[in-house]
Each structure stands twice: as C-alpha cells, then as structure tokens.
C-alpha cells in the first residue's frame, strides 16, 4: 500500500522575506511532492502546529515561522477484493490501464454491488494501492459511464496519482472516443463548444445551458450507414459528465442505445438487433507516464457488441436487389435480376 509520508512530525520554516501567506499554501509550496489533499487531511486532523498551537488552513504565517505537521494514518478500505477478470492494456509498478467492459461501474456507491472496477482492482493490485484521500483504494483518476467501454487509467502510488490527475486537470492529454449515432450529420466534421450543466428538473441528466461548465468536443463523421446511423470519432478537451452524449444530442444525433438523451429504436432494425447499451467507446488515450515522463499511447479495440452493431447497420443500409419475373416467348417463366436497387 502506498501512503503519504508517515512517522514523526516534519518541520517547515517559512523562508525569510515571505509576507503573510495562508499556512496550507505555504506547506504546498514547501512540499510539492505531497498532495494538497493529504496536507488538508493533516490540517483537518489537527496535526499542523505553529509554536505548539494547532492552526487551521487559513492561518496566516510569515517568514521565519516554523510549522510542524504529520499525516494521519491511511484507513483501510471497507471494500473487499473480488477476483474479476480485467483486460489490462498496460501495467507497471506505478500505474495500469484497463479496457473497461460494458456494464461495469467504476466506483462503488449506495446502489452498487461487489462487481465494480474498484472491487476488481483491489484484487488485481493487492497491496499496491493509492492512499490519497486517507482511504486505501485504487487510484481512480478519471471515470467512464457504466455502459461506456474502453481505456481507463489507474494509479498505483500517490505520486503517480497526483501526476496523472494533474494531466487530466490541465487537459495535457489526448482523449478520443468512437460513437454510433442515430442519423447522419450533413457535415464531415465540426466542433461543439457549449457549456454543460445539470438539468434543472431531471437531476440524473445533464443539458446544454447557461451557467454550466465549459465543454468542447471535436467530432468527425467516419462512416455512414445509409441514413440510419453514422460512426463518429470524438476528441474531448474537457471531461464533463455525459459530455459526448449531451453534445451529440445537441447536434440532433443521439448515441444509439441512449434513451436518456433522446435515442429511439429505428424500425428498420429488428428488435433483436437493437443496441443493448449506449454505443460509446473510449478508444484512444495519449498521456505522459507519471514517473518516467515518456509518452504512453493507449488503445482499446472496439468491443464485440460494437462490431456486431456495425454489421447490423451495414446490412440494414444495403439496398435490396429487385428481382423481376418475365415470361419468355416459349411461355416459360424466366427470372431476370436487373440489379436494380431501392
């Protein structure tokens, strides 16, 4: 298990010449390798003192002040490890990348079972877990919706967690998704730069709206299946909740299998062939390794149900040949395939 530095108190002398500054900011500057979350835990636990007196985060300190602090112990997670197979794309002692399966929830909640990605990681990673936040847990840096498949990265150490989280926060990485959408956009590509907010009445949904957080999605139409559907490639520059689902809906092309955002079954596709989930896949993630600094190019192939859906769409979009029946001079029936298409 990876934790923040433990042991006896550590000291920090505020450099001479520094005027009034918040104590939490002073420690963050003095100890850049410690996460701000861990330092906040130290303040919250009453483990930061000045002259033997416990101080709060916003206490003002100046040059020459000497702070003493220590970190509270990391509490063991109350979740049990469950041996669930994982499709590992990349792994070393610092991090791993997994091709998440459809239907797998990333982090457990009140209504989830013991089949989340975290349960699986507790088994897979054993004692190599991030302790950021004060609870022993795998370092979930970002999330994918339950039905979304594809690349998700996990930190094994606190140092790796901080470095990866910083890349997501500063958008210093490349995130590409593929989606199957209803209908076919007239344009071949475009950019959706519209803020996303929580829906005012349906709290489980997001919507385009004023007062929301900035969100940008670049998209291109990769393939069209008649006028039934299209394969879209999307690059996102922000990570808002349901971002691609909301943005593509705003184009008038909701993702197949996503009734929450306006998709409806197409009558040209048999009931048995309708999508069973939201057809969205996190295909490609390019980032910097949190420790080595080398570029990591992570890719997850399209899952089987996605490929099957593409075959269904191609078949539904293929015109049928018209067979014309004629009678020849001998009065015998003759079938002539004119090769006409509808």
Residues marked as catalytic: 145
Distance of alpha carbon 90 from alpha carbon 156, whole angstroms: 13
> In this structure, is the dihedral angle defined by the CA atoms of residues 182, 186, 191 and 197, taken in order, positive or negative?
negative
- Token readout for 335 is 């079938």
Please classify residue 281 by burial: count the beta carbons closer than 10 Å to its beta carbon, then call 0-12 exposed, 13-18 middle and 19+ buried.
Answer: buried
Contact assessment for residue 324 and residue 336, using Cβ atoms and an 8 Å cutoff: yes
Contact assessment for residue 140 and residue 132, using Cβ atoms and an 8 Å cutoff: no
H or E element: which one contains 22?
A: strand 21-22
Distance of alpha carbon 79 from alpha carbon 48, whole angstroms: 30
Nearest to 285 by CA among 115, 103, 102, 144: 144
Q: Which residues contact 39 (CB under 8 A, 6 or more apart)?
A: 24, 27, 28, 31, 69
Q: Residue 166's Cα: distance from chain center in Å?
A: 15
DSSP type of residue 259: G
Q: What ranges make up the beta strands (E) of 289-320?
A: 295-299
DSSP type of residue 117: H
Long-range contacts of 211-217 (CB under 8 A, 24+ apart): 212/240, 213/238, 213/240, 214/238, 215/240, 215/243, 215/246, 215/247, 216/191, 216/192, 217/191, 217/192, 217/243, 217/244, 217/247, 217/248
- Token readout for 69 is 């602090």
């Amino acid at each position: 298990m990876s934790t923040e530095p433990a042991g006896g108190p550590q000291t920090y002398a505020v450099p001479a010449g520094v005027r009034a500054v918040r104590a939490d900011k002073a420690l963050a500057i003095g100890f850049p390798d410690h996460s701000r979350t861990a330092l906040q835990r130290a303040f919250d636990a009453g483990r930061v003192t000045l002259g033997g007196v416990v101080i709060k985060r916003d206490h003002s300190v100046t040059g020459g002040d000497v702070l003493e602090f220590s970190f509270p112990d990391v509490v063991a997670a109350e979740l049990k490890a469950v041996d669930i197979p994982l499709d590992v794309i990349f792994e070393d002692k610092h991090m791993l990348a997994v091709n998440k399966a459809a239907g797998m929830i990333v982090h457990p909640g009140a209504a989830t079972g013991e089949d989340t990605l975290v349960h699986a990681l507790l088994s897979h990673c054993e004692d190599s877990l991030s302790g950021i936040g004060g609870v022993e847990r795998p370092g979930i840096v970002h999330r994918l919706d339950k039905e979304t498949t594809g690349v998700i990265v996990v930190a094994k150490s606190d140092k790796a967690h901080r470095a990866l989280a910083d890349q997501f926060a500063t958008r210093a990485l490349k995130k590409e998704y593929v989606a199957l959408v209803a209908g076919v956009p007239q344009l071949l590509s475009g950019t959706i730069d519209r803020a996303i907010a929580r829906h005012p009445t349906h709290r489980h949904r997001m919507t385009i709206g004023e007062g929301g957080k900035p969100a940008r999605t670049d998209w291109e139409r990769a393939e069209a299946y008649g006028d039934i559907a299209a394969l879209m490639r999307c690059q996102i520059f922000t990570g808002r909740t349901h971002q691609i689902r909301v943005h593509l809906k705003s184009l008038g092309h909701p993702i197949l299998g996503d009734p929450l955002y306006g998709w409806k079954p197409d009558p040209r596709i048999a009931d048995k062939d309708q999508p069973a989930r939201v057809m969205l896949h996190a295909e490609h993630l390019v980032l910097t390794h949190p420790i080595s600094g080398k570029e990591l190019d992570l890719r997850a192939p399209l899952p089987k149900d996605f490929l099957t859906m593409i075959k269904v769409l191609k078949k539904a979009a293929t015109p049928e040949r018209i067979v014309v029946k004629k009678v020849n001079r001998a009065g015998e029936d003759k079938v002539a395939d004119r090769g006409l298409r509808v």
